C-alpha cells in the first residue's frame, strides 16, 4: 500500500500548472473520540490520494482537523466517502471564499496527540460541552450588546492583518497561551457575554468548552469561524463587521474581507498586510514585507539572511546541514533581528 506522497512539491506544481484542474478549498473539523487514529489516517490517505486530494490534516484521539484542496470533479466522491465514516458523517464543510489551484502541493495526514495543542491537563474537561454556536447575523447582533466581549482566539500574526471591530486580540504566539491570558484577564467578568471567533471554528470549539468549564456563564462562538462568516455576509447581504484580511494556513496566506489595511510592513512601517517567508531557507521567518522592502532585501528579513541567500545553493545547504531554523520561525515576525528600513 502506498501511504506516502510519491511526488515532490515541484513535481506536483508542474502537474497542476499543466492540467489547470479546478479545485475547491475547504476545511472541516470534529471533536470526537477516535480509538485508533492510525487506522483512520491510512484509510483516508489511500482514498484521498487516489482522487488527487491535497492538504494538511491532523488526527488524534480527540478528533480530526483538516484543510483540503479537492478537485472539483471529485468533490461528490469526497463527500460520499467521508459520510461512510460514522465518526465523520455529520461534519460541516467550510468552503473557502476564494480558490487557488496550488493552495496545497502535498497530502499530509499526521497523527498527533491533539488536533489543537492547548496545555489542558485536567481529565474532567470535556471539549464537547461547548458554548452556543451563532450564525453571522446573530453574531453581528450580539456584538452590539454592551455586555458582550468579542474575543479573537487566534495568534497575533493572524489578528494583526484582520479582526472584528472592537475585538480583544491577545498578543500571543500560540492558542495555549491565549487560554491562560484570557482566563487571567477576564476572571472577574464571568457574567459578561463571551463572543469568540477564529478562522474556521476549531479553536473556538475548544475555547468555549474550556471557559464554560472555568465557570463563565454566557459563552458563544461564531459557527464555522471567519470563513463561514464571509460566505454568509455575501450570500445574505449582511453588514460586514470584519476589517482587513483573514489569515489562512495554505499558500494563499490570506483572503481579502474588506478594503481596510490595518497592518504595516515590519521593516519600513508602510501600510501593508501581505505576509511572506524569509527567502533564506535556514530562517523562513513569516513576516510582513512590502514590495519596496522585498526588492531592497531580496525577500529576506535581515542582512545576514540576505548574505546567505545570495550564496550558491550548495553552500547554503552545507551551512544549514544539521541545524534547526535559526531565527525563531514560530515567533512570526516578532524577533529582534528583522532589519528596520528607514525611507
Q: CA neighbours within 13 Å on the CB side: how many for 263? A: 26
Q: Which domains can be identified in the chain, with CATH numbers?
A: 9-111 (3.30.70.100), 132-236 (3.40.250.10), 275-331 (no CATH)
Query: What confidence tens digit (pLDDT) does each residue in 235-265 have?
Result: 999 999 999 999 987 777 888 889 999 999 9
Closest to 334 measured CA to CA, from 174, 129, 202, 98: 174
Tens place of pLDDT per residue across the chain (343 aa):
666 777 777 877 787 778 888 999 999 999 899 999 999 999 999 999 999 999 999 999 989 999 999 999 999 999 999 999 999 988 989 888 777 777 889 999 999 999 988 878 888 888 888 999 999 999 999 999 999 999 999 999 999 999 999 999 988 888 888 888 888 888 778 889 999 999 999 999 999 999 999 888 899 999 999 999 999 999 999 999 999 999 987 777 888 889 999 999 999 999 999 999 999 888 888 899 999 999 999 999 999 899 889 888 887 777 777 666 544 444 555 566 676 775 5
What pLDDT, on a 0 to 100 scale, did the predictor assign at position 2?
A: 63
Sign of CA dihedral 313, 316, 321, 324: negative
What pLDDT, on a 0 to 100 scale, did the predictor assign at position 330?
A: 43
What pLDDT, on a 0 to 100 scale, did the predictor assign at position 20?
A: 81
Q: Scanning the structure block, which residue is given the C-alpha cell 473539523? A: 29
CA distance 131 to 123: 19
Catalytic residues: 198
For the entire predicted model, the pTM comes to: 0.81
Q: Are the beta carbons of 22 and 72 closer than 8 angstroms?
A: yes
Amino acid at each position: 500500500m502506498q501511504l506516502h506522497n510519491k511526488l515532490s512539491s515541484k513535481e506536483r506544481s508542474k502537474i497542476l500548472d499543466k492540467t489547470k484542474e479546478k479545485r475547491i478549498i475547504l476545511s472541516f473539523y470534529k471533536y470526537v473520540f477516535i480509538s485508533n487514529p492510525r487506522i483512520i489516517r491510512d484509510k483516508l490517505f489511500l482514498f484521498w490520494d487516489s482522487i488527487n486530494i491535497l492538504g494538511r490534516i491532523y488526527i488524534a484521539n480527540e478528533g480530526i482537523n483538516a484543510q483540503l484542496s479537492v478537485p472539483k470533479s471529485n468533490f461528490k466522491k469526497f463527500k460520499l466517502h467521508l459520510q461512510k465514516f460514522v465518526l465523520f458523517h455529520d461534519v460541516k464543510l467550510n468552503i473557502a471564499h476564494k480558490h487557488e489551484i496550488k493552495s496545497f502541493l502535498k497530502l499530509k495526514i499526521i497523527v498527533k496527540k491533539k488536533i489543537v495543542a492547548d496545555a489542558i491537563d485536567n481529565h474532567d474537561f470535556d471539549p464537547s460541552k461547548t458554548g452556543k454556536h451563532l450564525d453571522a447575523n446573530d453574531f453581528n447582533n450580539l456584538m452590539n450588546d454592551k455586555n458582550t466581549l468579542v474575543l479573537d482566539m487566534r495568534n497575533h500574526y493572524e489578528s494583526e492583518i484582520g479582526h472584528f471591530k472592537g475585538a480583544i486580540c491577545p498578543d500571543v504566539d500560540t492558542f495555549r497561551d491565549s487560554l491562560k491570558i484570557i482566563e487571567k484577564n477576564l476572571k472577574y467578568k464571568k457574567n459578561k457575554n463571551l463572543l469568540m471567533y477564529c478562522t474556521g471554528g476549531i479553536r473556538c470549539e475548544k475555547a468555549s468548552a474550556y471557559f464554560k468549564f472555568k465557570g463563565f456563564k454566557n459563552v458563544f462562538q461564531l459557527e464555522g469561524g471567519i470563513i463561514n462568516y464571509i460566505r454568509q455576509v455575501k450570500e445574505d447581504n449582511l453588514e460586514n463587521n470584519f476589517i482587513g484580511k483573514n489569515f489562512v494556513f495554505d499558500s494563499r496566506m490570506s483572503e481579502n474581507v474588506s478594503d481596510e489595511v490595518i497592518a504595516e510592513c515590519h521593516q519600513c512601517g508602510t501600510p501593508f498586510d501581505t505576509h511572506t517567508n524569509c527567502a533564506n531557507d535556514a530562517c523562513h521567518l513569516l513576516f510582513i514585507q512590502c514590495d519596496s522592502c522585498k526588492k531592497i532585501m531580496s525577500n529576506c528579513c535581515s542582512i545576514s539572511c540576505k548574505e546567505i541567500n545570495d550564496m550558491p545553493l550548495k553552500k547554503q545547504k552545507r551551512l544549514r546541514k544539521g541545524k534547526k531554523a535559526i531565527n525563531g520561525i514560530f515567533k512570526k515576525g516578532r524577533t529582534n533581528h528583522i532589519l528596520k528600513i528607514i525611507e
